[in-house]
Amino acid sequence: MQYSLEDGKEQGLGLLEKRKCVMMRFMKKIIAEQFDVLVIGGGPAGLMAAGRAAQKGARVALVEKNDRYGVKLLMTGNGRCNLTQEAEDTVELVKVYRNGRFLLNAFKRMSPTNLRDFFRSRGVETKVEKNGKVFPVSDQGKDVLDALYQYCRKNMVTFFNTEEVVDIEFEENDPNEIVASRISRGKISKVVTRKKEISAEKYVLATGGKSYPQTGSTGKAFAWLEKLGHSVIEPLPSLVPIMIAEQAIKDAQGLTAHNVSITAMQAGKKIVTENGDLMFAHFGLSGPLALNLSCKLREVFEKGELKLFLDLKPELSFEQVDEIIRKDFEDNAHKNLSNCLKDFASPKMLALIFTLAGLDTHKHAGNLSKQDRLKIVTLFKKMEMTVEELFGFEKAMVTRGGVSVKEIDSKTMQSKIIENLYFAGEIIDVDGPTGGYNLQVCWATGYVAGESATKDR
């Protein structure tokens, strides 16, 4: 399926459907730019909200400041889009998130299973990979975006791309008229873009957080929301790579380590232990383990030196690792160190370990002292690194913080402050680890926000 947002024509639809689209677009122009629901932000959350509201019969417009939709979505999962996490039990699933309880109602409406059905019925089959990560069978994130786009298109969503919303106008309720049971301060009357004003009965805000600002999510909406009376929990970069001070670690770039664990320590106190897959990069550490660990280090990082201890063999004790290495060296006593431990670690990992141990790899295994051997064992079980820096928003996969969940109705995604405003996606103060968890938030909250915004029309 191909489409061009620039000229508004789509390929992949039948002739009859194309004519219907053209007709509907023409009719909408006559009706002028007054909509039932206006969705701001064309990421996964906004596209889902717009499609669902339109499917429920509302006249919907979607405003996106980029010339294309889903710019960040296309980057997810390295272009493969890890769209959700395989999970049957939504009660268990929400426990993984910060402010997870808030998500329970939305996940019941659009669970990972429902989501996979949603995409299957739109031609995108999905598969489950290691650690429950769900991807499209095609390994193409573009297929996910195409399906969403067609969902909106077929339900006659009006698209305004290259339209940045720069302000939101608000009508304040008379304080005497505010009913005690509803604390609404008023309602949005219109949004102002750089080119026009657009008004609607209901508004869905899906402008994302502040991470990867080059994709369009700059977090400017947080300032409007504070102006409208919402509380915004300070947005912080989350799921970021970790810069490491030691040069040998940086020199090991390209090295990967699966099912390993890292313990973070500060002033001799354990902060956290995290398990998973790790990648060494020219700046230090990346991969799911480093990203997930980084969220737990942000607050303590400012407080003092932070040490990481990498355990390459978490399933084995120190003594067991020592025994394996001792036996290997005994069996290969006349071989160079570089020809030992071949079944125990990759050549690249061994090279790093021998470098850190300061050992000459031409030395025969039989000539190593016990002290040298214990140095190697220690490096397998407790490789020490110093955190130099945590990356900021420019490399953050998600934003921690956002609109306070206390001010959003979890059943509808409706603001408790502004009566005709709804929220969807990363703008909300909820976040999860890597593995499809964060897109699951976008789909579920987007679906619920879109549906709720069509009620009481």
Which stretches of the chain bind ligand FAD, using CB under 6 A?
A: 40-46, 63-66, 71-73, 75-77, 82, 164-165, 206-208, 211-212, 216-217, 220, 397-398, 425-426, 436-439, 442
Instruction: Classify residue 209 by burial, with Cβ atoms within 10 Å: 0-12, 13-18, 19+.
Output: buried
Strand partners, 311: 261
- Supply the minimum distance, in Å, between the C-beta of residue 428 and ligand FAD: 8
- Supply the minimum distance, in Å, between the C-beta of residue 46 and ligand FAD: 5
* C-beta of residue 251 within 8 angstroms of C-beta of residue 354: no
- Supply the minimum distance, in Å, between the C-beta of residue 418 and ligand FAD: 17
Between residues 354 and 437, which has the closer beta carbon with respect to ligand FAD? Answer: 437
- Supply the minimum distance, in Å, between the C-beta of residue 224 and ligand FAD: 9
Between residues 379 and 439, which has the closer beta carbon with respect to ligand FAD? Answer: 439
Between residues 380 and 393, which has the closer beta carbon with respect to ligand FAD? Answer: 393
Between residues 45 and 243, which has the closer beta carbon with respect to ligand FAD? Answer: 45
If DSSP states are collapsed to H, E and C, what string results for 159-170? EEECCCEEEEEE
Query: How many whole angstroms from its chain centre is CA 391?
Result: 15
Between residues 155 and 238, which has the closer beta carbon with respect to ligand FAD? Answer: 238
Distances (CA, A) of 295 to 225, 278, 385, 419: 25, 15, 18, 33
Between residues 194 and 282, which has the closer beta carbon with respect to ligand FAD? Answer: 194
Question: What backbone torsions phi and psi does residue 179 show, to the nearest 5 degrees?
Answer: -75, 140
* C-beta of residue 301 within 8 angstroms of C-beta of residue 442: no
Residue (of 265, 272, 246) closest to 303 by Cα position = 265
- Supply the minimum distance, in Å, between the C-beta of residue 87 and ligand FAD: 13
Instruction: Classify residue 429 by burial, with Cβ atoms within 10 Å: 0-12, 13-18, 19+.
Output: buried
CA-based radius of gyration for the chain: 26
Between residues 202 and 313, which has the closer beta carbon with respect to ligand FAD? Answer: 202
Between residues 63 and 297, which has the closer beta carbon with respect to ligand FAD? Answer: 63
- Supply the minimum distance, in Å, between the C-beta of residue 76 and ligand FAD: 3
* C-beta of residue 322 within 8 angstroms of C-beta of residue 289: no
Between residues 216 and 287, which has the closer beta carbon with respect to ligand FAD? Answer: 216
Find the helix or strand (DSSP H, E) in which 60 lies: strand 60-64
Q: How large is the angle between the packed helices 141-154 and 44-55, nearest 10 degrees?
A: 30
- Supply the minimum distance, in Å, between the C-beta of residue 49 and ligand FAD: 9
- Supply the minimum distance, in Å, between the C-beta of residue 385 and ligand FAD: 24
Burial pattern 28-67, b for ≥16 Cβ within 10 A else e, equals: beeeebebbbbbbbbbbbbbbbbbbbbbbebbbbbbbbbe
Cα 439 to Cα 422: distance, rounded to the nearest angstrom: 18
- Supply the minimum distance, in Å, between the C-beta of residue 216 and ligand FAD: 2
